[in-house]
Structure 1
Amino acid sequence: MGHISALTAWLILAAEVGAVFIILTTAHDPLTVNVGFSILAGITTWSAIPALSEIFVKAGLKGMDLSKRTKHIIPESMGMVAGLIYLVTMFVFIPFPFMKWFTGSNDGDLQELKLLTFPNLKLAELLSALLSIQSMVFLGFADDVLDIRWRFKMPLPAIASIPLLMVYWVHLGVTHIVVPIPLRPILGQLIDLGVLYYVYMGMVAIFCTHSINIMAGINGVEVGQSLVIACSIAINDMIFLQSASSGAPAIETHLFSLYFILPFIGVSLGLLIHNWYPSKVFIGDTYCYFAGMTFAVVGILAHYSKTLLLFFIPQIFNFLLSAPQLFRLVPCPRHRVPRYNRQTNLMEPSRVVLDEEDDLDIEFSNSKQDSKVGSRQSAPGRSASSAFLSSAGATAQDADDSHMKPSSSAVGEGSNLPSTTTLLQDFRPFKDSKLKRSGWYCIKLLEALGLTHVRYDAKTGKRPLEMTNLTILNLILLKAGPMSERNLTISVMVVQFCCSLVAFVIRHRLVAFVYDVV
């Protein structure tokens, strides 16, 4: 904290005093009090992370940023600090939504009436939500320390959401869904999903948590996308609070959502300052688990899980794009983050090896490169292991960038617009390829859609050797070209922002064509 200017220190002190003043003078208004606590949570997170960084490093929670020319030891799992401050903030906030039941006359009859009207289920919802979030913070930190295998950590969010689902069952237990207007002549107006509805909510918790975790790997991208989603949720809640058509139940549920989202925005802003490029800390899986479960909590208990998923359009697209690798239809390296080019200081799409080059292919490829670049020499005998390292974010630069250009043999020699017969032949599995038939079809489909670039062997032009990893980060670099790590994070946040605008249009304008009530 000693490095900040005197003006900044005074501004921070003024913000803290203002937040305390808001809390003390508006104790009767829980939302205003929550705003005050959110400001304090953000400032506390910002100031606590530098103070605790050395402790994490001494405990062995440290790493090195490979996407930098200079290497420094950086503390990891600092999302734990944000998660703990968030939980403490919410624990202190618990009494304020129920303040009117704690104050007032000591008359016996009135006290009995208060006991009868006290919203026990609301308190249970609040506590169960905090229990689920606390569980995910703990499990995320355990993952950072123990490096839990994916097959074990995949169902953890659903398990952590059980307290939430139990309270949902006790409070409302509504398991029916409204059928869209075009389908009502066939399915009717309502469909009761029964236990499948609880399975759906558990899957929402799993998706929200892991979708942020797999769309990661560069400075600030996890916190950045989470902040845009959280702000979108907060704006959606305020739209409902200002709407004259919103009934009392809708107002209560969206107030409940704001109580959880505003402190989350506060701690995330405090964390992003240190995680922004060039990052001084790594957030670890803890923050991804914490953020995902927070979103799942408000989506489930505030009863707008479908709207929540609209704000996850980039994450849904990233999951669908990653599915061939996640489900092992094509090879999937442990890390699929973009590759850092040390010479240009830019990020490039990382690639995964599909098949090894034989000696004849290497000689042909090298001679072709030599004829193109003259004195610029390629790396002879580039092995599959070196290609794999580049796909995992290694800092070695490829000797020639010509492999990033689409091969003419993939669409037919001497023709810009291949015939239907040529396209059908391209989609036939190459007999010498080591890929399974399903993986071959996935690659050809993604290549036809422009979602990946495949490098084929130089001899036949048909056997796939490498492809760009299937993530939205690599896709942005593939379409926009190499860019700095900072600009790549900003690009992801811009995409997230644009998709949120689309979500608002769908939710508040186009929904009238599908459902009766907006």
Structure 2
Amino acid sequence: MAARKRASSDASTKSPAAETQQKTQTTTANSTDPPIAPSKAGQILTYSLIFFVPYFYLIFSHYKIEADLKRSILINALLSCAGFFATLTMIPVASRYVLRRNLFGYDINKKGTPQGSIKVPESLGIVIGIVFLVLAILFQYFNFTSDSNWLVEYNAALASICFMILLGFVDDVLDVPWRVKLLLPTIAALPLLMAYAGHTTIIIPKPLIPYVGLEVLDLGWIYKLYMGLLAVFCTNSINIHAG
């Protein structure tokens, strides 16, 4: 309570000149925000129509597909279009907030050119990830029922994606060291591994059957351990390759 009183008293005793100076600095900071490159929505839509028109012709006219499957494909297409425009709208807004927090880098492939000195916002993948999660949840509402067999694994996959988006954003903000990055995919893969209820067996190659004595070997928990290690390998290899 005392801290609030001091803050209010300081604000009340602030001179008009100081308030004017603060407003001027805020206006200057907003006006000096780096420009954001315009989106290539027209070009993307043109290429999308070129590829989607024959695709939809084959699905809805050429081939005989069940009505439920056609409905699912159409809903997926509409949700994808809505997600595209939502992402296109949210990225410029998120870019301004990210740049204000000094989360940016420079394109090293354009070093020495005028574009090489332009600030490139980081951590914008969280925008795409959030839009994808929302659309995936809405798609679940339109296509799954309460007794769907894949419902548990579908929700577990969404939880893993949500974990990975959060951990990726934390990595961008906190600059997590590599020894910690190796553990992050393990945490993100836990919901999917725990919800997995499929087979944990492998087929022994025929040349090794006389030595092993089995044609099918049940690995049990070792199978899930392998899948967790595979998730760590895939995510970090893609991260290293992209970086």
For the superposition of Structure 1 and Structure 2, which TM-score range results when normalised by the shorter chain?
0.5 to 0.7
Q: Equivalents in 2 of 1:161, 1:4: separation in Å?
A: 34
Q: Equivalents in 2 of 1:2, 1:142: separation in Å?
A: 26
Equivalent residue for 2:211?
A: 186
Matches within 5 A, 1:304-453: none
Letter in 2 for 1:52: A
| 2:72 corresponds to 1:30 | yes
Please state whether the residue corresponding to 1:191 is helix, strand or coil.
Answer: strand
Q: Equivalents in 1 of 2:86, 2:93: separation in Å?
A: 11
Equivalent residue for 1:88?
A: 134
Q: Does structure 2 conserve the Cα–Cα contact (< 8 Å) formed by 1:179 and 1:191?
A: yes
Q: Equivalents in 1 of 2:39, 2:85: separation in Å?
A: 13
Please state whether the residue corresponding to 1:148 is helix, strand or coil.
Answer: coil
Equivalent residue for 1:138?
A: 166
Q: Does structure 2 conserve the Cα–Cα contact (< 8 Å) formed by 1:28 and 1:96?
A: no
Equivalent residue for 1:166?
A: 194
Q: Equivalents in 2 of 1:196, 1:4: separation in Å?
A: 47
Q: Equivalents in 1 of 2:84, 2:226: separation in Å?
A: 33
Over residues 35-87 of structure 1, what are the superposed CA-to-partner deviations in whole Å (9 max), with x where a residue is unaligned? 33233323432443234311211122112223321311111111111111111
Q: Equivalents in 2 of 1:51, 1:82: separation in Å?
A: 13
Tell me how far 1:28 sits from its aligned partner. Answer: 7.3
| 2:70 corresponds to 1:44 | no
1:59 to 86, 93, 101: 101
| 2:229 corresponds to 1:203 | yes
Q: Does structure 2 conserve the Cα–Cα contact (< 8 Å) formed by 1:136 and 1:160?
A: yes
CA RMSD of aligned residues (A): 3.3
Please state whether the residue corresponding to 1:29 is helix, strand or coil.
Answer: helix
Tell me how far 1:184 sits from its aligned partner. Answer: 2.4
Tell me how far 1:27 sits from its aligned partner. Answer: 8.7
Over residues 296-337 of structure 1, what are the superposed CA-to-partner deviations in whole Å (9 max), with x where a residue is unaligned? xxxxxxxxxxxxxxxxxxxxxxxxxxxxxxxxxxxxxxxxxx
Over residues 155-205 of structure 1, what are the superposed CA-to-partner deviations in whole Å (9 max), with x where a residue is unaligned? 22112211111111xx33x21111123322322211111211111010111
1:8 to 31, 34, 42: 42
Equivalent residue for 2:177?
A: 149
Q: 1:189–1:92: structure 2 CA closer, same or farther, 3 Å change rule? A: same
Q: Does structure 1 conserve the Cα–Cα contact (< 8 Å) formed by 2:39 and 2:88?
A: no
Q: Which ranges in structure 1 are unaligned for 5 or more consecutive residues?
A: 102-117, 218-518
Q: Equivalents in 2 of 1:147, 1:196: separation in Å?
A: 32
Equivalent residue for 1:76?
A: 122
Please state whether the residue corresponding to 2:217 is helix, strand or coil.
Answer: strand
Q: 1:182–1:43: structure 2 CA closer, same or farther, 3 Å change rule? A: farther
1:129 to 153, 157, 166: 157
Q: Does structure 2 conserve the Cα–Cα contact (< 8 Å) formed by 1:63 and 1:75?
A: yes
Over residues 458-514 of structure 1, what are the superposed CA-to-partner deviations in whole Å (9 max), with x where a residue is unaligned? xxxxxxxxxxxxxxxxxxxxxxxxxxxxxxxxxxxxxxxxxxxxxxxxxxxxxxxxx
Over residues 190-246 of structure 1, what are the superposed CA-to-partner deviations in whole Å (9 max), with x where a residue is unaligned? 1111211111010111011101011123xxxxxxxxxxxxxxxxxxxxxxxxxxxxx
Matches within 5 A, 1:279-318: none
Equivalent residue for 1:176?
A: 201
Q: 1:37–1:26: structure 2 CA closer, same or farther, 3 Å change rule? A: farther
Q: Equivalents in 2 of 1:67, 1:4: separation in Å?
A: 20
Equivalent residue for 1:216?
A: 242
Aligned residues: 188
Identity %: 39
User: Which fold has the larger relative contact order, with Cα–Cα distance below 8 Å and residues 6 or more apart in sequence?
Assistant: 1
Over residues 379-419 of structure 1, what are the superposed CA-to-partner deviations in whole Å (9 max), with x where a residue is unaligned? xxxxxxxxxxxxxxxxxxxxxxxxxxxxxxxxxxxxxxxxx
Which range is displaced more, 193-202 or 26-35?
26-35
Q: 1:3–1:157: structure 2 CA closer, same or farther, 3 Å change rule? A: closer
TM-score, L = length of structure 2: 0.66
Q: Equivalents in 2 of 1:197, 1:57: separation in Å?
A: 44
Please state whether the residue corresponding to 1:67 is helix, strand or coil.
Answer: helix
TM-score, L = length of structure 1: 0.33
Q: Whose helix proportion is higher, 1 or 2?
A: 2
